[in-house]
Chain A
Amino acid sequence: MTITLTINGIEKKIGIAPGATLLEVLRHEGYVGVKSGCGSGDCGACAVLLNGRAVNSCLTLAVRADGASITTVEGLADGRNLHPMQKAFLDTGAVQCGYCTPGMLMSALDLLSRIPNPSDEEIREAISGNLCRCTGYVKQVEAIRAGAKAMRSERHD
């Protein structure tokens, strides 16, 4: 069967197997920044934005996303310019192995689209479905706080 997805702003018609997950389809289409850590929705490494909301793509049937707009980590940078949240993750030392980073970024951006100036508690809540074994989350919370600030000031510019 064929579905239509707008991935990072580009509309694509994609032939899929009926049972395929959004994760499988995205990775097959070359969006390998979307990671797989468990296949059961427990780790959040596969999170993408579906119509602006973070979802675990391993739990989302691709057919359910037909017609939707998808943002993956590959779609965050503006050409060679990193998104302020990507930059904040680097500046604060929030990236160690980097495997959970794409999913974390998605959860952070979902949060900031709803709450532009979140508290640390709201940040923790927002990334509570994204497991990281390297960082202990300290610098990731700091990164999202810094990224939020950069995005707010960008908006005011």
Chain B
Amino acid sequence: MTERRAFDVIGKNEMKVDGVGLVAGRPKFVDDLKLPGTLAVKILGSPHAHARIVSIDTSRAEALPGVVAVLTHKNTPGTRHTTAGQGYPEPSPYDARMFDTKVRFVGDRVAAVAAETEAIGEEALKQIRVEYEELPAVLSMDEARADGAPIIHDEKDATGIYDASRNIVADVDIDVGDVSKGFEESDVVVETECETQYAQHTPIETHLVLAYLDSDERIVLRTSTQVPFHVRRIVAYTLGIPVHRIRVIKPRVGGGFGTKQEVLLEDIPALVTLRTGRPALLHLTRAEEFTSARTRHPMRVRVKLGAMNDGSLHAIEMEGTSNTGAYGAHGLTVLANTGSKTLPLYNKAPNAHFFGQAVYTNLAVPGAYRGYGATQGYFPLETAMDELAERLGMDPIELRRKNHIRLGETSPIFEKLGEGREGVSQIVKSCELAKCIDLGAERIGWAEKRGKRIRNGSWVHGVGMSIMMQGSGIPEIDMAAATIKMNEDGSFNLLVGATDIGTGSDTILAQMAAEVLGVPLVKIVVTSSDTDMTPFDVGAYASSTTYVSGNAVVKAAKNVRGQIAAVAAELLGCEVGQVELRNEQAVGPSGSVTLERVCRRAMYEAGQFQIAATESFVPHESPPPFLANFAEVAVDETTGQIKVLHYVAAVDCGVAIHPKQAEGQVEGSIVNGLGYALHEEMIISSRGRVRNPSLFDYKIPGALDIPKIDVILVDSYEPTGPMGAKSVGEIGINGPIPTLANAIYDAVGIRLHETPFTAERVLSAMKAH
């Protein structure tokens, strides 16, 4: 195990490397680059949830002055592919075409227009005549698998669908021990079923792509993406052009949260540019973002727990049904994650069973969303743990303490269930969850407040808690590479495919390089995500960047450090192993030289070479971060209104490379989770149309809506992590739903099983109680 040591750059709140440009409003985002002659691209979305396109007449649109190209299924490649930006081969079905002869949800692509102006493009969309044959639509998970249900993917060329004839995208079933026997042997059994809603990521910057040809006629895609290398591969495949003809540039990204782990738009402007030779910009409106970008998978998840009278868990069963909407992107893996990221938390149960299916519907298309299935799983799991504690007459904290995974332990689930296939066994090498629980309980005032139902007029107070884990990347699948090269002033270029989407990964990766190379952060110049310039990285998803990309950066920095030491040893007349790098110097036993001097020697004087290295990292495990959540709520008994008064999140993310940024990840994900728990919901009409496609009607939390939030970073050291670090990006979003549900129960004695917890829902539950 790596020894823990004092750091110079790690653990410091360094200046965000891209921060000055961001606060100064400099042109950093996709749409900030204006190219003359750029065409506006607009998409015609389907008005029907399920229909066959009988005919499309684009002649009137094409005749409109200023219309340059019209794309439909008739003049575009028909290759089936997945839009899921995952590693190859993607564990998602190839069920999408650029434009299909069938539409499967309201907003599905029918045609696209490229025009001189957006207004002309919009007018042209109106001039496209489409004759549809409407088909019966599947508008709920229950209808999807019913006998005689319409088949959503009846095309012959789709691959990777579990059972298209029954609208089943994916099926997962894994067993540990024997749960039936386990429940029989248990003293107490509880069972609960929870359902989550359609919700959206709503980055403030919607999806957009600018395509143009470079001077050598290669396609450049300047795109707001989490997965530049997957974009390049999938666009090349979809359009049938070689990878080397495409360059993907990821500039600054205005938020992702998973929705930009999708190759949602890039193929269209790419094809427009290939055909016209002109730059083409496709920028979704907010309404289009709501109707045609991605959502979280709505799920129904049932959890059954069996325990002995002393509180030790004996059997856990979890059954998930996931709605993957009209296309199966991320369907299998989100469902698998619902089990794989939750059940190992309670590793003491010798019997466990996870099973479920993901089904197609003619509804908006879910994809990756921060939490990635774990969010949906923790709702019933942590609700059931609360119910179990009550049945056993135990404090909910005590029940969790007794059963949660600890340092040096493993869970058979790690090996049984992974990224839609078998997983990778691992032993937990860092875990301060017990301390997270202690600190969180103290901060919320658990002992004084739990079960007290303190009243203030019609408001009743309650406290609730939940615990959870996530992962750090996808073991034996994800790969990240980093290149570091030295410059003659003793600075370094750090080139990473790791994709900073606002998470601050450029900064923390630079901190890691600076730490190893003994230089201040300012001497690391970061370039992230340009498929021509930076080495491969899977991108920003699965809580992978700190751990996976970070390890690649540390390896590359150590390699470069070795090269520097070799040159310095010659200059200093000592052994290579005697050279250390600190304060921008190579220090030997009897003297030192500046890094500048070292680089000049390597570049110009003797044995000339470029001091540089590229290193890759594939994780062999996925160390979980841990989180204990506590909340105090007040419930108005007369109206059902809920006020969250205080939210405490104590998190173990290993060494926090940049503590403020780590806190920011947790704060942001908690507030996103609070919105999801309390009010965010896509309202869908009986014909499958999203009825609230605006930020006015789809309410996300604003500054007045947030409670007092305390994030406590609980220090641990992950020996396999870069500088002791684990992930922190996703875990926080899983907390609010179960934590608030349990706090509401503590206040007013009702169990909520459906999100969001609106006043209406709380009031009707209280009335039924």
- B-binding residues in A (CB < 8 A): 30-40, 42-43, 45, 72-74, 76-77, 82, 86-87, 89-90, 92-93, 95-102, 105, 123-125, 127-141
Most chain-B CB neighbours within 10 Å: which of A37, A101, A128, A141? A37
The number of residue pairs between A and B whose CB atoms lie closer than 8 Å in the complex comes to 175
Given contacts A96-B255, A99-B29, 20 further A-B contacts (CB under 8 A): A39-B285, A43-B204, A45-B204, A73-B24, A74-B24, A86-B24, A90-B20, A93-B16, A95-B16, A97-B502, A98-B18, A102-B25, A125-B704, A130-B703, A133-B668, A134-B664, A136-B706, A137-B671, A138-B664, A138-B711
Q: Find out whether the CB atom of B202 lies under 8 angstroms from the CB atom of A77.
A: no
Closest to B502 in A: A97
Chain B interface residues (CB < 8 Å from chain A):
13, 15-16, 18-20, 22-29, 31-32, 34, 201-206, 252-255, 257, 285-286, 501-504, 660-661, 663-664, 667-672, 694-696, 700-704, 706, 709, 711
Q: How far is the CB of A100 from chain B (nearest CB, A)?
A: 5
Which residues of A have CB within 8 Å of B668? 96, 133-136
Q: Which 6 A-B pairs have the closest CB atoms?
A: A33-B25, A97-B502, A99-B254, A98-B22, A73-B25, A93-B660
B709 touching A138, Cβ below 8 Å: yes
B696 adjacent to A89 (CB under 8 Å) = no
Please indicate the chain B residues that have their CB under 8 angstroms from the CB of A90 in the complex.
15-16, 19-20, 23
Nearest Cβ distance between residue A137 and chain B, in whole angstroms? 4
- Do the beta carbons of B502 and A138 come within 8 Å of each other? no
Q: Which residues of B contact A38 (CB under 8 A)?
A: 286, 694-695
Given known contacts A97-B203, A98-B254, A134-B664, A124 and B13 CB-to-CB distance under 8 angstroms: no
A contact residues around B694 at 8 Å (CB): 38, 40, 42
List of A residues within 8 angstroms of B257 by Cβ:
133
A137 to chain B: which residues have CB within 8 Å?
Answer: 667, 671, 701-703, 706
Chain B contacts for A139, CB-based, 8 A: 660, 663-664, 667
- A residues near B254, Cβ cutoff 8 Å: 35, 37, 97-99
CB–CB B252/A136 < 8 A: no
B285→A99 contact, CB < 8 A: no
Report yes or no: A138 in contact with B25, Cβ–Cβ below 8 A: no
Q: Within the complex, what minimum Cβ distance (angstroms) separates B739 from chain A?
A: 15
Residues of chain B contacted by A35 (CB below 8 angstroms): 29, 204-205, 254
- Asked if residues B502 and A96 are in contact (CB atoms below 8 Å), the reply is yes
A92 and B28 CA atoms in complex are apart in Å by 21
The reply to whether B695 and A138 contact each other, CB–CB distance below 8 Å, is no
What A residues does B13 contact at CB under 8 A?
Answer: 93
Instruction: Indicate if the CB atoms of B709 and A136 lie closer than 8 Å.
Output: yes
CB pair B286–A37 under 8 Å, yes or no, is: yes
Report yes or no: B702 in contact with A40, Cβ–Cβ below 8 A: no
- Looking at the assembled complex, report how far the CB atom of B24 sits from the nearest CB atom of chain A, in whole angstroms: 6
- Are B255 and A99 closer than 8 Å at their CB atoms? yes
Distance in angstroms between the alpha carbons of A89 and B502 in the assembled complex? 14
Chain B residues with CB below 8 A from A34, complex form = 25
Say whether B703 contacts A128, CB under 8 Å.
Answer: yes
**With a CB–CB cut-off of 8 A, which chain A residues contact B252?**
97-99
Q: Which residues of B contact A141 (CB under 8 A)?
A: 703
Query: Is the CB–CB distance between B23 and A95 below 8 Å?
Result: yes
Contact present for B201 and A32 (CB under 8 Å):
no
Q: How far is the CA of A139 from the CA of B668 in the complex (A)?
A: 10
Q: How far is the CB of B702 from chain A (nearest CB, A)?
A: 5
Residues on A with C-beta less than 8 A from B32 are 32
Please state if A138 and B205 are interface contacts (CB–CB under 8 Å): no
Q: Which of chain B's residues have a CB closer than 8 A to the CB of A45?
A: 204
Instruction: Find chain B residues with CB under 8 A from A74 CB.
Output: 24-25
A67 to B243, CA, bound (A): 52
A-B contact pairs, 20 of them (CB 8 A): A32-B25, A37-B205, A37-B695, A73-B23, A73-B25, A74-B25, A82-B24, A87-B23, A92-B660, A96-B503, A97-B254, A99-B203, A99-B252, A128-B703, A131-B702, A133-B203, A134-B255, A138-B663, A138-B709, A139-B660
Given A40-B694, A141-B703: A99 touches B204 (CB 8 Å cut-off):
yes
CB of B700 within 8 A of CB of A131, answer: yes
Contact (Cβ within 8 A) B31 A97: no
Chain A residues in 8 Å Cβ range of B504: 96
* Highest count of chain A CB atoms <10 Å: which of B19, B26, B206: B19
Least CB distance from A72 to B in Å reads: 7
User: Which residue in chain B gives the minimum CB-CB distance to A31?
Assistant: B25
CB distance from B659 to the nearest CB of A (A): 9
A42 to chain B, nearest CB (A): 4
Across-interface contacts of B670 in A (CB, < 8 A): 136
For B203, list chain A residues within 8 Å (CB): 97, 99, 133
Determine the distance from Cα of A65 to Cα of B18 in the docked complex, in whole angstroms: 33
How many Å lie between the Cα of A45 and that of B202 in the bound state? Answer: 13
Find out whether the CB atom of B20 lies under 8 angstroms from the CB atom of A133.
no
Tell me the smallest distance from the CB of A92 to a CB of chain B, in Å: 7
* Chain B residues with CB under 8 A of A89: 23
**Nearest Cβ in chain A — how far from B735, in angstroms?**
12
Complex contact B667–A138 (CB within 8 A): yes
Interface core residue of A82, A100, A134 (most chain B CB under 10 Å): A134
Which residues from A are CB-within-8-Å of B664? Answer: 93, 96, 134-136, 138-139
Chain A residues with CB under 8 Å of B15's CB are: 90
> Does the CB pair B25–A42 fall under 8 Å?
no
**Residue of chain A at shortest CB distance from B675:** A133
Contacts of A129 in B (CB 8 A): 702
Complex-state Cα separation, A141 to B660, whole angstroms: 14
Question: Please, how many angstroms separate the alpha-carbon atoms of A7 and B24 in the complex?
Answer: 15
Residues of A within 8 A of B706 (CB): 124, 136-138
- Complex CA distance for A98 and B694, rounded to whole angstroms: 21
Give the chain A neighbours of B661 by CB distance below 8 A: 93, 96
| Docked pose: A98 CA to B28 CA in angstroms | 10
Contact assessment for A128 and B695 in the assembled complex, using a CB-CB cutoff below 8 Å: no
Query: Are A132 and B204 within 8 A (Cβ)?
Result: yes
**Please, how many angstroms separate the alpha-carbon atoms of A138 and B674 in the complex?**
14
Residue of B nearest to A42 (CB): B695
CB neighbours (8 Å) of A32 from chain B are 25, 27, 29, 31-32, 34
Is the Cβ of A133 less than 8 Å from the Cβ of B285? no
In the bound complex, what is the Cα–Cα distance between A35 and B28 (angstroms)? 11
Question: In the complex, are the beta carbons of B703 and A124 less than 8 A apart?
Answer: yes
Closest to A75 in B: B25
Q: Are the CB atoms of A43 and B695 closer together than 8 Å?
A: yes
Contacts of B19 in A (CB 8 A): 90, 95, 98
In the complex, the answer to whether A99 meets B502 with C-beta atoms within 8 Å is yes
**Residue on B nearest A103 in the bound complex, by CB:** B204
Cβ–Cβ contact A127 & B703, under 8 A: yes
State the CA gap A139–B659 with chains docked (Å).
Answer: 13
- Closest approach, in angstroms, between the C-beta of A147 and any C-beta of chain B? 11
In the complex, the chain B residue whose C-beta lies closest to that of A34 is B25
Q: Is the CB of B704 within 8 A of A124?
A: yes
In the bound complex, CA of A137 to CA of B31 (Å) = 25
Given contacts A96-B668, A99-B255, contact A133 B202 (CB under 8 A): yes
A130 and B695 alpha carbons, distance in the complex (Å): 11
B27 adjacent to A98 (CB under 8 Å):
no
The answer to whether A133 touches B672 (Cβ under 8 A) is: yes
Residues of A within 8 A of B20 (CB): 82, 90
Chain A residues, CB < 8 A from B16 = 90, 93, 95
Task: Give the Cβ gap from A112 to chain B, nearest Cβ, in Å.
Answer: 16
The distance in angstroms between the C-alpha atoms of A72 and B24, with both chains bound, is 10
Interchain CA distance A138-B672 in the complex, whole Å: 13
Is A128 touching B29 in the complex (CB atoms < 8 A)? no
A97 B709 Cβ-Cβ under 8 A: no
Query: How distant is the Cα of A136 from the Cα of B711 in the complex, in angstroms?
Result: 12
Distance (whole angstroms) from the CB of A43 to the closest CB of chain B? 5
B258 CB to nearest chain A CB (Å): 12
Query: Which of the residues B34, B206, B672, B696 comes within 8 Å of A42, measured between beta carbons?
Result: B696
Contact status A134-B502, CB under 8 Å: yes
Cross-chain contact A97 with B253 (CB below 8 angstroms):
yes
A126: nearest chain-B partner, CB-CB: B703
Quick one: which of A77, A95, A100, A140 contacts B204, CB cutoff 8 A? A100
Instruction: Kindly provide the distance from the CB of A90 to the nearest chain B CB, expressed in whole angstroms.
Output: 5
Q: Which residues of chain A are within 8 angstroms of B18 by Cβ–Cβ distance?
A: 98
Residues of B near A97 (CB, < 8 A) are 203-205, 252-255, 501-502
